Amino acid sequence: MDLASAHGRLSPVTSDFIARPHRLLIDGKWVEPSSGKRFPVLDPATGQQIASVAEGNATDIDLAVAAARRAFEAGPWSRLKPTERGKLVWKLGDVLEAHSEELAELESLDNGKPITDARAVDLPFGCELLRYMGGWSTKICGQQIPISAPGEWHAYSIREPVGVVGQIIPWNFPLLMAVWKIAPALAAGCTIVLKPAEQTPLSALRLGELILEAGFPPGVVNIVTGDHVPGAALAAHPDVDKVAFTGSTEVGKLIVQAAAGNLKKVSLELGGKSPAIVFPDADLSVAIPGAANGIFFNMGQCCTAGSRLFVHEKVFDRMMTGLADEATKLKIGPGLDPETRIGPLVSEEQLNRVTGFLASGREQGAEVVTGGKRHGNAGYFVEPTILTRTTPEMKVVREEIFGPVVCAIRYGDDDLDRIAKQGNATEYGLAASIWTRDIGVAHKLARKLRAGSVWINVHNFNDVALPFGGYKQSGWGREMGYEAIELYTETKAVAALL
Ligand code: NAD
């Protein structure tokens, strides 16, 4: 198979990486999986195989966890001074930046996302996140605590790394999710077993090479590729102290059950069905491209996608015309083409899932404003789609589609409680956006929305310093900001009677 001719754009460095055997990273070495098996990795723009990758299983997870345990208990990692740990995490950010172009290319090839987005979002965010979290290493403090019991006391708290952590990540932002997970864990002093998604393992494997190049000691980061089998083994492992998962709510619930065996700590970033709420006074020149980006960015494969668009009846028609214009302007094509704005979905399974939702929407009476079907017949492309005349009972309104499909819902109400009730009418609670010029209304509504992130006149906004996570069935815990450090530390209270 000639990948370069398939896209005409692969750099030699990416071609070389793809041609290498893709093994497991355990204890600082690249090793064959104990099963001897490999699984294919497909290019979502063509459906053709681009690589084969080691298929890890429970035995490999045992080996990786043992290596992480050694690095945590006895290895140099637990003895490193905070400055040294922080410098290394920061350095990984620099190494990532130096390899940004190559990683953007690999990410676009493996996941299908537009290379323009990988360059503008995934890579810069990943580099900044490593540097931000590296900065926390020297600032993880406990407190001196006043005691009221009789006697003289010296009491204080210490924050200690939680230990060996298992991290299971999805395919929508493969490299960014890997960095998102490892950066705070490393900064806190934990050691890691990372399980990338089976659809998109390549950038995490390249990240593994860069981790070794940056000088992380053996066993600090271990990477086991494979499907749900190594994932489930990691979540259930008795010697793992914490599991962090990003993916579907359904699997999130399985992770909780698996973690119950040794009551390991659990943090979860799960699905969403986020509302974007447009008021009649909104600046439509901002709201139209903003709502389009809110749903079509990354082909809607974002847990925070603005997939329920509530628009006041006074501006509904203008909003629909503008949004349809935006949708039809987006160039559909392979991610590696710099002109592409809509790449393929990640897999045939996702293609079938999203087109299945489109069929169900039509059957249940939704009207297609634009898009509505698969694009072409090679690769996994779906047209950016706007549905109207939806009702709250429809599957397309209730369930996470995870594709470029928005349900536009007309409302005529001016009562903030009723508007919030509509926005909150979902089992999820990850994000919401409010579009208005009335900042008082925006802040009042922000308080009424049951979501971990509320954005005003913007959607899909994340920052390394802003806590991110879900209410309700969108997850447990907050990543980003100092709250991410808290996820990877335990608090110890020390009390001395003097
Ligand atoms: P998934 O939840 O099945 O997979 C995510 C990760 O979990 C992968 O690494 C997978 O190998 C692993 N995994 C699967 N089963 C496991 C188990 N029993 N124990 C441990 N690990 C396990 O996600 P998917 O099937 O790839 O996508 C299905 C749906 O999930 C999507 O359509 C979307 O709705 C949602 N999703 C959400 C996010 C998000 O960021 N919140 C990301 C990807 C997918």
Q: For a pocket test of ligand 1, which of 41, 195, 228, 254 has the largest count of ligand atoms closer than 8 A to its C-beta? A: 228
Could you give the CA distance from residue 125 to residue 111 in angstroms, rounded to a whole number? Answer: 17
**Does 261 lie in the same domain as 279?**
no
Q: Measured on CA atoms in the order 372, 359, 346, 7, is the torsion positive or negative? A: negative
379 CA → ligand 1 middle, Å: 21
255 CA → ligand 1 middle, Å: 11
Regarding the beta carbon of 197 and ligand 1, being less than 6 Å apart is answered yes
247 CA → ligand 1 middle, Å: 4
Angle (CA) 489 492 498, round 5°: 155
In sequence order, what are the beta bridge partners of 471? Answer: 429
- At 1 the pLDDT is 39
- At 78 the pLDDT is 77
**Does 288 lie in the same domain as 226?**
no
Q: Say if 420 falls within a structural domain.
A: yes
Q: Say if 224 falls within a structural domain.
A: yes
**Does 133 lie in the same domain as 104?**
yes
Q: Say if 428 falls within a structural domain.
A: yes
**Minimum CA distance residue for ligand 1 atom 12:** 228
Q: Is 269 tagged catalytic?
A: yes
- At 75 the pLDDT is 79
Ligand 1 atom closest to Cα of 199? 26
> Under 8 Å CB-to-CB from 276, ≥6 apart: which residues?
290, 291, 294, 295, 306, 308, 309, 310, 432, 433, 435, 459
**Does 125 lie in the same domain as 109?**
yes
Q: Say if 366 falls within a structural domain.
A: yes
Regarding the beta carbon of 345 and ligand 1, being less than 6 Å apart is answered no
> Under 8 Å CB-to-CB from 287, ≥6 apart: which residues?
278, 319, 435, 457
Regarding the beta carbon of 46 and ligand 1, being less than 6 Å apart is answered no
**Minimum CA distance residue for ligand 1 atom 14:** 228
Number of domains in the chain: 2
- At 292 the pLDDT is 98
**Minimum CA distance residue for ligand 1 atom 13:** 228
Could you give the CA distance from residue 451 to residue 456 in angstroms, rounded to a whole number? Answer: 13
> Among residues 127, 302, 303, 407, which one is catalytic?
303
Regarding the beta carbon of 198 and ligand 1, being less than 6 Å apart is answered yes
Pick the closest to residue 46 from 299, 351, 403, 344 (CA basis). Answer: 344
**Does 163 lie in the same domain as 103?**
yes
Q: Say if 8 falls within a structural domain.
A: yes
> Among residues 55, 102, 128, 269, which one is catalytic?
269
Residue 146 amino acid letter: P
**Does 318 lie in the same domain as 437?**
yes
- At 9 the pLDDT is 74
**Minimum CA distance residue for ligand 1 atom 25:** 248
- At 7 the pLDDT is 58
Contact predicate 225/22, CB 8 Å: yes
Contact predicate 202/148, CB 8 Å: no
CA distances from 75 to 160, 190, 216, 467 (A): 16, 12, 11, 31
Regarding the beta carbon of 271 and ligand 1, being less than 6 Å apart is answered yes
**Does 265 lie in the same domain as 302?**
no
Could you give the CA distance from residue 241 to residue 154 in angstroms, rounded to a whole number? Answer: 29
Residue 321 CA to chain centroid, in angstroms? 31
CATH of the domain at 340: 3.40.309.10
Q: Measured on CA atoms in the order 461, 467, 470, 471, is the torsion positive or negative? A: negative
Listed as ranges, residues in the chain with pLDDT below 70 are: 1-8
Q: Say if 301 falls within a structural domain.
A: yes
**Does 56 lie in the same domain as 178?**
yes
For the chain, the first-to-last Cα distance in angstroms comes to 74
> Under 8 Å CB-to-CB from 62, ≥6 apart: which residues?
233, 237
Regarding the beta carbon of 354 and ligand 1, being less than 6 Å apart is answered no
**Does 295 lie in the same domain as 433?**
yes
Q: Say if 68 falls within a structural domain.
A: yes
Could you give the CA distance from residue 110 to residue 105 in angstroms, rounded to a whole number? Answer: 9
CA distances from 392 to 171, 314, 361, 388, 426 (A): 29, 21, 12, 12, 10
**Does 289 lie in the same domain as 361?**
yes
Angle (CA) 399 433 415, round 5°: 95
Ligand 1 atom closest to Cα of 258? 19
Q: Say if 469 falls within a structural domain.
A: no
DSSP string of 75-89?
SHHHHS-HHHHHHHH
Pick the closest to residue 189 from 488, 487, 493 (CA basis). Answer: 488
Token match 């999805």: residue? Answer: 170
Regarding the beta carbon of 6 and ligand 1, being less than 6 Å apart is answered no
CATH of the domain at 86: 3.40.605.10
Regarding the beta carbon of 201 and ligand 1, being less than 6 Å apart is answered no
**Does 288 lie in the same domain as 169?**
no
**Does 445 lie in the same domain as 345?**
yes
Q: Can you give the residue range of the structural domain that contains 239?
A: 3-270+474-494
Q: Is 160 tagged catalytic?
A: no
409-425 core/surface letters (b: 16 or more CB in 10 A; e: else): bbbeeeeeeebbebbbe
Per-residue pLDDT tens over the stretch 40-95: 999 999 999 999 999 999 999 999 999 999 999 987 887 899 999 999 999 999 99
